[in-house]
């Protein structure tokens, strides 16, 4: 009976009332939509708490204005978890230390005599890269590769996002100051250093802690330090010279000098870590593990 009464009451509603109700409903919908739309736009507006640029910030070095090549994102699924180690000989001390650390860390590796000229090991297998990392016991072997092998290796590193670790161990025949061939990086060699510290802003650090420092003289007097104005190079380890004198031929005087440098890949798309000595120094071993 109730349902019948409701139906009868609707029959007596005039068309004007129906139109009024529809108009009111539409008007309410417009107000609701406008409210939510306004609130959503406010969420995209910049906050008033964002500070204005600080005029006291240091000026960008001219090298930071140079064209920067994009870095290919590392896709580990495209490479096998294998490290390619180029050594001077199968019995070299540094080469054996590199292999020992890789074995203790359970990294798979393949050892090859570094080619100056001649065949480079096969780097790919169909569409997969065979190696996830390249290590050079002597970085000069990489720098002085013949043009064909150098281009082949660099293209592989860029395509598969593979990095390079290299060591530079100075000897009595090393130039005191020289530019690394093909790179905006200068080397100053055969130095005695002291008071090694860690750059806390280095993106390379993993197990190495910035609080781990070495006070006093570093072992040996055959250290190499790196100098560059290019933004691709980030210091990892720093040290002072044994004496307070500045390094000859260095364009700027600095209290701290870079003994391990990370190339972020902004120069040519390849990330690298370069050591200015061997692995006899304990902090070098820690940083090496971080680099791997």
Domain boundaries, the chain: 76-167
| Per-residue pLDDT at 173 | 82
Token digits of residue 67: 């064209």
Q: Which fold has domain 76-167?
A: Rossmann fold (3.40.50)
| Per-residue pLDDT at 10 | 47
| Per-residue pLDDT at 35 | 43
| Per-residue pLDDT at 62 | 32
- 195 and 259 Cβ atoms separated by less than 8 Å: no
- 239 and 195 Cβ atoms separated by less than 8 Å: yes
| Per-residue pLDDT at 176 | 87
| Per-residue pLDDT at 52 | 35
Crossing angle between the packed helical segments 282-291 and 93-104, to the nearest 10 degrees: 60
Please report, in angstroms and rounded to a whole number, the separation of the first and last CA atoms in the chain.
Answer: 84
| Per-residue pLDDT at 118 | 67
| Per-residue pLDDT at 230 | 94
| Per-residue pLDDT at 195 | 93
| Per-residue pLDDT at 211 | 86
Classify burial at 165, counting beta carbons within 10 Å of its beta carbon; exposed 0-12, middle 13-18, buried 19 or more. Answer: buried
Q: Where are the alpha helices (DSSP H) in 118-221?
A: 139-143, 147-160
| Per-residue pLDDT at 12 | 55
- Residues 238 and 227: their CA atoms lie apart, in Å, by 11
Give, for all 292 residues of the chain, the pLDDT tens digit. Answer: 544 444 455 455 566 655 666 666 556 554 545 443 333 333 223 333 333 333 333 332 233 333 445 555 556 678 999 999 999 998 999 999 999 999 999 999 999 998 766 678 999 998 899 999 999 999 999 999 999 999 999 999 999 999 999 999 988 888 889 999 999 999 999 999 999 999 999 999 999 998 888 899 999 999 999 999 999 999 999 999 987 555 655 545 458 999 999 999 999 999 999 999 999 999 999 999 999 9
- 185 and 177 Cβ atoms separated by less than 8 Å: no
Choose among 109, 104, 103: nearest CA to 133: 109
């Amino acid at each position: 009976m109730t349902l019948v009464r409701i139906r009868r009451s609707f029959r007596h509603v005039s068309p004007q009332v129906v139109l009024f109700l529809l108009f009111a409903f539409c008007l309410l919908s417009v107000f609701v939509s406008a409210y939510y739309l306004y609130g959503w736009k406010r969420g995209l507006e910049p906050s008033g708490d964002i500070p204005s640029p600080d005029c006291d910030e240091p000026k960008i070095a001219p090298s930071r204005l140079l064209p920067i090549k994009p870095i290919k994102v590392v896709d580990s699924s495209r490479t096998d978890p294998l490290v390619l180690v180029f050594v001077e000989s199968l019995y070299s001390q540094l080469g054996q230390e590199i292999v020992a650390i890789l074995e203790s860390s359970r990294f798979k590796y393949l050892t090859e005599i570094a080619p100056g000229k001649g065949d480079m090991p096969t780097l790919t297998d169909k569409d997969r890269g065979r190696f996830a990392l390249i290590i050079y016991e002597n970085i000069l072997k990489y720098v002085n590769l013949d043009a064909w092998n150098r281009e082949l290796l660099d293209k592989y590193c860029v395509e598969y996002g593979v990095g390079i670790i290299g060591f530079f161990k100075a000897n009595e025949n090393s130039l005191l100051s020289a530019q690394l061939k093909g790179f905006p990086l200068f080397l100053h060699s055969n130095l005695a250093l002291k008071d090694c510290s860690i750059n806390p802003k280095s993106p390379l650090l993993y197990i190495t802690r910035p609080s781990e420092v070495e006070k006093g003289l570093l072992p040996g007097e055959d250290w190499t330090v790196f100098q560059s104005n290019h933004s691709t190079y980030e210091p990892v380890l720093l040290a002072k010279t044994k004496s307070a004198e500045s390094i000859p031929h260095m364009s700027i005087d600095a209290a701290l000098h870079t003994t391990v440098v990370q190339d972020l890949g902004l120069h040519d798309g390849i990330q690298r870590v370069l050591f200015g000595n061997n692995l006899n120094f304990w902090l070098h071993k820690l940083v090496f593990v971080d680099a791997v």
